[in-house]
Structure 1
């Protein structure tokens, strides 16, 4: 199987959200999870209220049954919207979370770049130190 096929299979099982839908999910008690690596967050900023968890820690931090979970990982019914830079890695990550029983996990189509292009709030990156 090629990565494109893996991605298509992952997305076939997700109800992916657009930027406005992701914002509404967050406002309705859902959890946006930013899995971008630090250099991208430092370059582009972050989504206000999003939990930042780099991809390599995602399953440990979001599994409600794991002792290393984030406080925001409140249960298997939590609506989780995974955000990467452009909406590719987030699809695979959302499927992984579903494998842990987070049955409402999905991702943001177009990722952070789509969020920003839609004019939704972004916390700018910190400026250079004085």
Structure 2
């Protein structure tokens, strides 16, 4: 009983860590492409669009890839210091080794679902928002 009370007390004092949320509307994936570089490395290019109002100078988020049945493929962190400007498309590239994104090489493009979880942003004027 004491352990349960301690856990609930911890949960109440640390809501941002335990109950961290995502805003899935601020950044969208317009398209992506994956290309083998060699037998162990693939290049993933992901085109991202900022849907929010105003300029953001820092972002905490991740791009998630799943199949249409909800199975997780892989994810990667957004470049935290990339400036996001309304209407601008950012291309984030990454080189990935085995056991990451290689499943995308064999999948039908339409069977891949992408989403972008934004956990926090810093606006150009310095305001901080966390979700």
TM interval, shorter chain, is under 0.3
Instruction: Give the TM-score of the pair, scaled to structure 1.
Output: 0.24
Task: Flag the structure with higher strand content.
Answer: 2
Task: Flag the structure with higher helix content.
Answer: 1
Instruction: Give the TM-score of the pair, scaled to structure 2.
Output: 0.24
Larger radius of gyration: 2
